[in-house]
Amino acid sequence: MLAIYKREMHSYFVTPIGFVYLAIFWAVSACVCTLTTLHEFSIDTSMYFLIMLFVFIIVVPILTMKLFSEERKLKTEQMLMTAPVSITSMVVAKYLAAFTLFAGSLVISCVNFIPLYLYAKPQSAIVFGSVIGIMLVGSAFVAIGTFISSLTENQLAAAVSTTGILLFLLAISFVNRYIDTYFIRSIIDWISIFQRFQAFNYGIFDFTAILYYASISAIFIFLTIRVYERRRWGA
């Protein structure tokens, strides 16, 4: 498992993907932070994190599109499935590699808040809660992208499909207010990724939301494992 994890982390930086991802993530996060907080002299960081959720729709697929699609395209998939590691270890190692790069880039991007703390003094609990919340959202997004990547050998198709799914998951929260039926609205609120994130954005640690995001990650990792188990025995 560790060997696959190291191999995957190394692959991000021997190809342009890792550098493209980091450049886009840090450039956009710096611009968004400047416009929503520093430029406005505001201690409210909620708009920054809200916009970054939608930025993830673009950057997360860059991370995940190659995880399994590239293996199928390069015909190295069989080597992975016959390696002396379980399918579960192989899938988890790839997922953790993508999530490590995501989490690392997010933590480093927090330097954006240094000028804010020097001049505006925002509430640390709210900022810290939002960072934890957005990292949990990212973990779920990475798991979804990992699953989509396992379904196709076309990296572009994997990226576009992941983007579409993530956009849908966030968009349903905003169209929910226009639905007249309370029962339907309550269901959408319950499954809404955005709605669950709102508590963190107010500095509230919602343990049901933590369980929710962890469950999404676990479900899509499990589905990816099932895809490769069927492929192994079907081969």
Residue-wise pLDDT for 70-98, tens only, equals 877 777 777 777 777 788 888 999 999 99
CA 209 to centroid of chain Cα atoms: 15
Neighbours of 152 (CB within 10 A): 16
Neighbours of 114 (CB within 10 A): 9
Question: Is the CB of residue 147 less than 8 Å from the CB of residue 63?
Answer: no
- The Cα–Cα gap between 49 and 39 comes to 16
Please state, rounded to an integer, the average pLDDT across all residues of the chain. 83
Share of the chain above pLDDT 90, in %: 24
pLDDT value for 103: 93
- The Cα–Cα gap between 199 and 192 comes to 12
Q: In angstroms, how far is the first alpha carbon of the chain from the final one?
A: 22
- The Cα–Cα gap between 34 and 192 comes to 28
Q: How confident is the model at residue 195 (pLDDT cuts 50, 70, 90)?
A: confident
Residue-wise pLDDT for 28-69, tens only, equals 988 888 888 766 666 677 788 888 888 998 899 998 988 888
DSSP string, 163-202: HHHHHHHHHHHHHGGG---HHHHHHHHHH-HHHHHHHHHT
